[in-house]
Chain A
Amino acid sequence: MTTTQNEPGRESAARPGPLLRVREAVKDYPGTRALDHMDFSLEAGEVHALLGENGAGKSTLIKALAGAIALTSGTVEIDGSKVEVRNPQQAQALGISVVHQHGNLVPELSVAENVLMVEGLGRRIGVLVDWRSAHRRTRALLDRIGLPDLDPRREVSSLGAHEQAMVAVAKALASNARVIILDEPTTSLQPAEVDTLFSQMRRLAEEGIGFVFVTHRLNEVFKVCDRITVMRDGGLVGTWQAGELDHDSLVDQLVGAEKAIAHEAFTATAPPREVVLEARGLRGDVLRGVDLQARAGEVVGIASLPGEGAGEVVESLYGMRRVHGEVLIEGTPRRIRNPQQAVAAGMALVPRDRLGQGLVSDLSIRENATLASTKSYRTDPVLRLMRRGRERSEVAEVMAQLSLKSGGLEKEVRTLSGGNAQKVVIGRWLLRQAKVYLLDSPTAAVDVHTKAEIYGLARSLADNGAAVVFTSTELEEFVRVCDRVLVLHDGAVVGELAGDDITVNSIMRLSFGRKSV
């Protein structure tokens, strides 16, 4: 295992030590050691990637730095002197700020109110908010993060995803943060937005701010980071200069022994069979006449920039969005105006927002799994008693097939990790014997290992005779799992790629409206 002792990315001669240093951090939970003698250091002015699969200990380390949990043992140093981070207020005072995946913003409040939430809005005559100075101060911060045109009075909920991410950074800056920890800030961003975010991060780094960047998207790491630290099973695997690793070797470090998994492709091995799903002339407020076919045994990707059609096609097929046009399942026209009719027609949705749309977190795994097929477990249409025994055995069978790891099928779904939770959603549709699977970013926020597992599941769904429609914000996924990709631009199909023609580059070019590949 390669371990390079850290060499500061930038000059820091005047400092007695690095901006932030964690030594021998241990965090024990009963039965689990979440952090195992972890070391980490961050220099002022660097962007430092903190990587690891789910459960590797990244979030525990971040929580400890943010003052949300206390370390069992180990030390934290700022500028070479030992500090205590017992609560979030102390972390803030030390200049450590965490920007979470879904932002720590209140959507109903304005940009200014959010940005100045910690520092406080100024007062006039003791009680009245001094809005003029608040907006001035916010504008200054927005200038710093490269959004000089953003109106501080706008409600955060009206902002785009990348603007929200940047406003969250501005909020961190407002509290004079010197260490900004970005926890998967790019999950909801599109490539162009990611680039904007990165260029602003680099600029702020030049001002002397240290960034800890947590992500699952490895290509981003090489775009923006100076150094890379990889964690596995609560401990340090190693820290490298970004130039020392490439994509493949980084993946190897992340997954350790199970290297092969991360590069495996999941494209079809057999030719597709009969057409299961056919859509003709889908037309709505975004879509401008989309035709689509998916055959049994194939995984069809639908790609576009956000708001230009891919997500809209999925929503239209599932009856969540009003469109004109025809949908045929196995040759029969079906009227699909709501999800209920979609389900009845044999559609299955694996939504992007697992907790918000896919699962009922307070119900058990069993109850979640049979949610779409309760009808087949009831005794009769009058009393409608549920046959729990049959339910239990069939859920157990399907979950074994999906190799779900859980503490028991009666455990609440809340207790599951992201990948296992996704398996429950997929299991629900297996129990329903769905014919068409609509997978909308099914691998959002899961680790490399689980991603591969989910790709494998998508493939086996197709192999077992279903048609799979797949969409994602991560273009590499199309390459690994799709047999065919329809690329949409401005609500219309502008190209279809198949086999080896499916590359990140070709998808990107088409989705920007360039006909030539």
Chain B
Amino acid sequence: MSSSTAVAESPRATGPRRETSTSDKLIDVVSRYGTIASLVACVAIFSLLKPDVFATSQNFFNILNQVSILGIIALGLTVALVQGLFDLSLAGMATLGGYLACKWLAEGTFGSPAVAVLVVLALALVIGAFNGVVVAYGGVSAFIVTLAVGSILTGVVLGVSDSQTILSGIPDGFLIMGQGEIGPIPMPVVFLAIVAVVLYVFLEQTQLGRHMYAIGGNAETARLSGIPVKRYALIALGISAACAALGGMIVAANLGVGRPQGVGDTYLLDAFAAAFIGASTLRPGRFHILGTVIGVLLIGVINNGLSIMGVETFWQYAVRGIILLLAVFAASFLVMRRR
């Protein structure tokens, strides 16, 4: 009845028992690399269909330029999401940041564009940290806090601006943030690259980033390991707000307009979409900078490619939605399988 001989040979099951059949492996590969594959596929298809327009170095920078603002905002959001914090205030923050920089420069409050930009960034850090204080010490969910603060910010900028758009008086030193170029590289892309590298190092290589991932994974374990959990909400939401404000300023500089309304709202949902697409890539279930960059690029390539092909607008919405669904579906499928 017992099969002791066979049993004696089999390895002790102390290590991990991975349930990986061929189909599971396939799903694993698809969900890890599916997003990258579809990015490559999109690029290939568009290049094939419109080789003279799509596959040019000019269009390459054009795409990067078009996604750079979304990218900067989405990367900041990624830091908040690593800790499991939703930041809905970034729409209002982006609008406020872009508007205030334009207003202060146009009115001569600050003579130097650099000073104005730094003041706006500092203000954004403070507002983000305020979000964090309410979340960490008030025990309110970030979703609610940032929703409320976002609404307040929208109101503030409308009130401050009297709903008037600022068009004239913005110095060239500021506009260069959005319109300048370093060699062939547009300035917004330079900013995107800087933000991506800084935040990548921050999250992956520093003590703070490590603690953030730990808190996002299991706050109680992090607390019991002696990590001062609460103050990290301030850091995460501060970074998210600062990135949103930076994005808002680059939009303003790019178009040369300080708009008091609707600037950030455009990016809010796309930023979440990019971060979630990213969280299903390479390391499913984990928000990370590289993934967000891929998500942002995917959205950018689809929009650019479809627009170059002259595809109707509604398709652009639909295709982006489908890709988001597929990416998140594949990732959650993998997580389910793993349980």
CB–CB under 8 A between A and B in the complex?
yes
Asked if A358 and B206 sit within 8 Å, CB to CB, the answer is no
CA distance in complex: A428, B286 (Å): 23
B210 an interface residue at 8 Å Cβ cutoff? yes
CB pair B206–A417 under 8 Å, yes or no, is: no
User: Whose C-beta in chain A lies nearest to the C-beta of B214?
Assistant: A360
B224 part of interface (Cβ distance < 8 Å) = yes
8 contacts between A and B (CB under 8 A): A1-B4, A30-B21, A54-B13, A233-B8, A235-B4, A340-B228, A374-B211, A385-B201
Contact with B along A371-398 (1 / 0, CB 8 A): 1101101100001111010000000000
A417 touches B15 (CB 8 A): yes
> Quick check: is B225 within 8 A (CB to CB) of the other chain?
yes
Task: Please name the 7 residue pairs, one residue from A and one from B, whose CB atoms are nearest each other, closest first.
Answer: A343-B226, A55-B13, A360-B217, A415-B16, A233-B7, A384-B207, A372-B225
Q: Does A228 contact B (CB under 8 A)?
A: no
User: Whole-angstrom distance between the alpha carbons of A416 and B14 in the complex?
Assistant: 8
In the assembled complex, B3 has its CB within 8 A of some CB on chain A: yes
Once the chains bind, are A33 and B10 in contact (CB under 8 Å)?
yes
Instruction: Please report whether the interface of chain A is mostly helix, strand, loop or mixed according to DSSP.
Output: mixed
Q: Does B227 contact A (CB under 8 A)?
A: yes
Question: Of all chain A residues, which has the CB nearest B14?
Answer: A405
Q: Which chain A residue lies CB-closest to B210?
A: A374
B1-43 to A contact mask, C-beta < 8 Å, 1/0: 1111011101111111111111000000000000000000000
Knowing A339-B226, A363-B214, the reply to whether A238 touches B220 (Cβ < 8 A) is no
With an 8 A cutoff between CB atoms, is A351 at the interface?
yes
Query: Is the CB of A209 closer than 8 A to any CB of chain B?
Result: no
Asked if B218 contacts A374 (CB within 8 A), the reply is no
Number of residues of chain B lying within 8 A (CB) of chain A: 43
With a cutoff of 8 Å between Cβ atoms, the chain A residues found around residue B18 in the complex are 29, 31, 407, 415
Query: Of A372, A411, A419, which is within 8 A of B14 by CB?
Result: A419
Give chain A's interface residues, CB within 8 Å of chain B.
1, 3, 5, 29-34, 36-37, 39, 54-56, 232-238, 318, 320, 339-340, 342-344, 349, 351, 356-363, 367, 370-372, 374-375, 377-378, 383-386, 388, 405-407, 411, 414-417, 419-420, 428, 450
B208: interface (CB < 8 Å): yes
What is the minimal beta-carbon distance from B239 to any residue of chain A, in angstroms?
14
Give B22's nearest chain A residue, CB to CB. A30
Residues of chain A with a CB closer than 8 A to B228's CB: 340
B17 touches A29 (CB 8 A): yes
Let me know if B221 and A357 touch, CB within 8 A: yes
B338 within 8 A of A: yes
A29 near B213: Cβ-Cβ < 8 Å: no
In the bound assembly, the distance between CA atoms of A273 and B225 in angstroms comes to 27
Q: Using A367-B210, A386-B206 as known contacts, say yes or no to A29 and B2 having CB atoms under 8 A apart.
A: no
Which residue of the partner chain, among A375, A388, A406, contacts B16 with CB atoms under 8 Å? A406
Interfacial chain B residues near A411, Cβ < 8 Å: 16
Whether B214 lies near A235 (C-beta < 8 A) is no
Tell me, yes or no, whether B285 is within 8 Å of chain A by CB: yes
What's the minimum C-beta distance from A89 to chain B, rounded to whole angstroms?
A: 19
Contact A362/B10 with A29-B21, A32-B17, A235-B3 known, Cβ cut-off 8 Å: no
Contacts of B11 in A (CB 8 A): 32
| Residues of chain B having any CB pair with chain A under 8 Å | 1-4, 6-8, 10-22, 201, 205-208, 210-211, 213-214, 217-218, 220-228, 285-286, 338
- Find B221's partner among A344, A360, A414 (CB 8 Å cutoff): A360
Q: Given A340-B227, A360-B217, output 5 extra A-B contacts at Cβ < 8 Å.
A: A31-B18, A234-B7, A235-B4, A367-B214, A388-B205
In the complex, the chain A residue whose C-beta lies closest to that of B18 is: A415
Give the distance in Å from the alpha carbon of A55 to the alpha carbon of B12 in the complex. 8
B207, A386: Cβ atoms under 8 Å? yes
Bound: A374/B226 CA distance, A: 10
Who on chain B is nearest to A367 by CB?
A: B210
Most chain B beta-carbon neighbours within 10 Å: one of A29, A56, A360, A363: A360
Q: In the bound complex, do residue A36 and residue B15 qualify as a contact, i.e. CB atoms below 8 Å apart?
A: no
Cβ-defined contact, B207 with A414, below 8 A: no
Say yes or no: A233 contacts B214, CB within 8 Å: no
Q: Is the CB of A361 within 8 A of B17?
A: no
Residue from the list A362, A374, A386, A407 in contact with B15, Cβ < 8 A: A407
**Contact among B1, B8, B14, B224 for A349, CB-based, below 8 A:** B224
Tell me whether B3 and A362 are in contact (CB under 8 A).
no
CB-CB nearest in chain A for B201: A385
User: Are A36 and B226 in contact, CB atoms less than 8 angstroms apart?
Assistant: no
Among B4, B16, B224, B228, which residue has the most Cβ atoms of chain A within 10 A? B224
CB B259 to nearest CB in A, in angstroms, measures 37
Q: A318 CA to B220 CA in the complex, in Å? A: 13
Residue of B nearest to A411 (CB): B16
Partner of A384, one of B206, B214, B226: B206
Residues of A within 8 A of B211 (CB): 374
Please name the residue on chain A nearest to B215 by beta carbon. Answer: A360
CB closest chain-B residue, reference A233: B7
Chain A residue at smallest Cβ distance from B223: A339
Chain A residues positioned under 8 Å from B21 (CB to CB)? 29-30
Q: How far is the CA of A315 from the CA of B80 in the complex (A)?
A: 31
User: By the criterion CB–CB under 8 Å, are B221 and A359 in contact?
Assistant: yes
Which residues of chain A are near B19, meaning CB under 8 Å? 29-30
- Within the complex, which residue of A360, A384, A419 is in contact with B208, where a contact is CB–CB below 8 Å? A384
A318 / chain B contacts, CB cutoff of 8 Å? 224
B224 neighbours in A (Cβ, 8 Å): 318, 320, 339, 349, 351, 357-358
In the complex, what distance in Å separates the CA atom of A233 from the CA atom of B218? 33
Nearest B residue (CB) for A2: B2
Q: Which residues of B contact A234 (CB under 8 A)?
A: 7, 10
Q: How far is the CA of A471 from the CA of B18 in the complex (A)?
A: 33
Chain A nearest CB: distance from B311 CB in Å? Answer: 39
Chain A residue with minimal CB distance to B339? A414
Contact A375 B207 (CB under 8 A): yes
Alpha-carbon distance A235/B21, docked complex (angstroms): 22
| Residue contact A235 to B2, C-beta cutoff 8 Å | yes
CA of A348 to CA of B285, assembled, Å: 30
From A29, A33, A233, A234, name the one whose CB has the most chain B CB atoms within 10 angstroms: A233
* A371 to B218 Cα, complex, angstroms: 12
Residues of A within 8 A of B10 (CB): 32-33, 36, 233-234
